[in-house]
Structure 1
Amino acid sequence: MTDRSAIIRRKDEHLDIALRQQAGGANGFDSLVLEHCALPELDLAEIDLATRFLDRELALPFLISSMTGGPERGAAINANLAVAAEHLGIPLAVGSQRVALEGAAQAGIDAGLRRLAPGIPIWSNLGAAQLVQGYGVDDARRAVEMIGADALIVHLNPLQEAVQPAGDRHWAGVLAALETLAVRLERPVIVKEVGYGLSGAVARRLQDVGVAAVDVAGAGGTDWAAIEAERIADVQERQVADAFQGWGIPTPRAIAEVRAACPDLPVIGSGGIRHGVDAAKAIRLGADLVGQAGGVLAAALVSAEAVVQHFETLARQLRIACFCTGARDLPALRFVRLVTRALPLHDL
């Protein structure tokens, strides 16, 4: 089996395990409470959920975050997501384009994606580890041009690579490579974690080298250490991976830390977002957009309509959260009182 075939098989295994992985774990949001307003003096129908991100107007503050799979299911997933994103007026971030760039399979990550979604932001995706293993600005341009992307996501997954058999463990020089991309690529560069969170200090270093936005992707959603552990046959290697289940910075803390460290940096809050109430809390903490990947995966395997219905439900929940906190729009939601459930309650 070639290395490319192994990558394709691994992506299908990741998809299968992610679908089985239990959602709704400890994501940190349940410890936070938005203060209820019993007299909102608002019309629910007039709550405005529109926003702006990287100079694009969006109908809703949601992002379909990066997900992937092997060629057959990946193509169906990406087509469903593109059609849904276009209907909803929200951005779509594709999964890693490494396999497509190496010519093994495209899984629907090609020019057809833009034809399905001509009016919304689409973001390309490369792994940070590849930037210090031969991938450069020209490869990033190819990834962008492949789908007519508006921006490039570079994903940070050091823990996943460290516990994955044959993972990419050489990470020295990634920050310098990101700076080169930010300077030379004719598109905004977005940096995201894959489920273990960005600290405020890391976000500040990324902003300082010219990164246009970050996705905190905190702990509480898809657990890649657990996924890799399930894939590993060797007992000792599995024990190594098992020890890191639950690792990471919880999403609420990551959002708050990054916003405090980088007041003007566009921030995406993702990692364990279950519903519109979690989304409201993420926005209150400082997120400009709220992303979902694992939470919408099952719908993406069904149809574009199922994806649309999924996000319409989130939007209804978010709108009611705004209504019941007296917030007529997203800027107002950022000033709602937020407290912890612990007694006595403390303001955040």
Structure 2
Amino acid sequence: MAEEGINKRKTEHIRICLTDNVEGVNKSTGLEGISFIHNALPEVNFHDIKLETRFLDKTLQAPFLVSSMTGGSEMAAEINRNLAIAAEERGWAIALGSTRAILEGDKHQDSFLIRKYAPTVPIIANLGAVQLNYGYGADEAQKLVDLTEADSLYLHLNSLQEIIQDEGDLNFEDLLPKIEEVCKQLTVPVGVKEVGFGIDGTVARKLHDAGVAYIDVSGAGGTSWSQVEKLRSKDPLRKAAAEAFNNWGIPTKDCIVSVKNNLHQVPVVASGGMKTGLDAAKAITIGADMIGFARTLLQAATESAEAVNRVMEQIEFELKIAMFGIGVKDLKELKNTNRVEIMGKSLLEG
């Protein structure tokens, strides 16, 4: 029954994200406060602009990640297959949805076993950190990594989602030492991500001190999982409470800045409301190392790998246009550009 419940929930999540308005009300990523200063003389050949980067000890063709979305249902199997094929073709990293379902039953395990479709790019397995208070530990985490042939493991933090979810797990007490133990014992790097409410610099420092290798901020401004769970819930109390919290979370921009101010050298993945290559360019200029896209790819992933590939190509093209527009030829130059305005304040001198 538990297995059936997880499978059903995963399908409901997909359908709600495809058909309903699940973004927080009046909540943005904050990236609209960043703009670039056009360079009329870029002194760059557009065809020479490079997006290559390194992540999890692998070379990627672009600084992009297919963010954790789904797994554990028949519909999810097709989606993850299409995402994996496209990620391999375009040289993007890919993160799985919560892989706990693998350990709780055999049904739809194939939805997580995507290495055959993405043999060379980084794959990130995924487990809710709260499960470390419900009988899971380093052994189970390592099993997830081994089964999925993953290069890393996400531990996701989703307290607001769990409290609105009818089936939610709510004991988040003393998770940090358990996260530290997983980091010590796992054979691959551990990253931590939120699910759309954001991670600030203070929390990020605690996580890094516990051994976490990189932070995926997953800030507010995109999908609100409290809204998703509200649409699933049959509990009037939870549905009403979700309305009160539909503006909750730290905007993605503020997360990136806060984490980088506290942890200068720790890789930061910017996800949460990322829609275009221009969004990616803005996030990189304020400190992001990788950019995660989720719902932007979801509709295409229900169609075909080719459809996903086209969306990915568009995002890459938009990032290159932004770089061309300010006259930078690679990601290092983009990170260090002064041709940017933040909240109306120009970084240009003179």
TM-score by length of 1: 0.95
2:274–2:293 Cα contact (<8 Å) kept? yes
Structure 2 residue 115 is the aligned partner of structure 1 residue 114: yes
Structure 2 residue 36 is the aligned partner of structure 1 residue 18: no
Offset at residue 100 of structure 1 (A): 1.4
2:56–2:152 Cα contact (<8 Å) kept? no
Percent identity at matched positions? 44
The number of aligned residues is 344
2:138–2:182 Cα contact (<8 Å) kept? yes
2:96–2:126 Cα contact (<8 Å) kept? yes
Offset at residue 334 of structure 1 (A): 1.1
Structure 2 residue 238 is the aligned partner of structure 1 residue 237: yes
2:22–2:224 Cα contact (<8 Å) kept? no
Gaps of 5+ in 1: none
Mapping 1:222-301, distance limit 5 Å: 222-301=223-302
Tell me what 2:45 maps to. Answer: 43
Gaps of 5+ in 2: none
Q: State the superposition RMSD in angstroms.
A: 1.6
Q: Distance in 1 between matches of 2:238 and 2:203?
A: 29
Structure 2 residue 166 is the aligned partner of structure 1 residue 151: no
Q: Distance in 2 between matches of 1:7 and 1:114?
A: 22
1:78–1:108 Cα contact (<8 Å) kept? no
Q: Distance in 1 between matches of 2:170 and 2:58?
A: 36
Offset at residue 246 of structure 1 (A): 2.1
SS at structure 2 position matched to 1:245 = coil
Q: Distance in 1 between matches of 2:255 and 2:76?
A: 30
Q: Distance in 2 between matches of 1:110 and 1:328?
A: 36
1:252–1:282 Cα contact (<8 Å) kept? yes
Q: Distance in 1 between matches of 2:82 and 2:110?
A: 10
Tell me what 1:92 maps to. Answer: 94
Alignment-mate amino acid for residue 208 of structure 2: Q
Q: Of the candidates 62, 71, 74, which is equivalent to residue 72 of structure 1?
A: 74
TM-score by length of 2: 0.94
Offset at residue 20 of structure 1 (A): 2.1
Alignment-mate amino acid for residue 266 of structure 1: P
Alignment-mate amino acid for residue 11 of structure 1: K
Q: Distance in 2 between matches of 1:78 and 1:8?
A: 15
Offset at residue 39 of structure 1 (A): 1.0
**Higher alpha-carbon deviation: 18-27 or 187-196:** 18-27
Q: Of the candidates 49, 55, 58, which is equivalent to residue 56 of structure 1?
A: 58
1:97–1:109 Cα contact (<8 Å) kept? no
Alignment-mate amino acid for residue 244 of structure 2: A
Structure 2 residue 9 is the aligned partner of structure 1 residue 7: no
Alignment-mate amino acid for residue 177 of structure 1: K
SS at structure 1 position matched to 2:115 = helix
Q: Distance in 1 between matches of 2:120 and 2:218?
A: 26
Tell me what 1:324 maps to. Answer: 325
Offset at residue 103 of structure 1 (A): 1.2
SS at structure 1 position matched to 2:336 = coil
C-alpha distance after superposition, 1:87-146 (max 9, x if no partner): 0111110111111111152353454x1111111111111101101110011101110111
Q: Distance in 1 between matches of 2:22 and 2:308?
A: 17
1:72–1:107 Cα contact (<8 Å) kept? no
Offset at residue 328 of structure 1 (A): 1.1
Q: Distance in 1 between matches of 2:132 and 2:100?
A: 11
Alignment-mate amino acid for residue 139 of structure 1: E
1:71–1:108 Cα contact (<8 Å) kept? no
1:273–1:291 Cα contact (<8 Å) kept? yes
Tell me what 2:176 maps to. Answer: 175
1:129–1:171 Cα contact (<8 Å) kept? yes
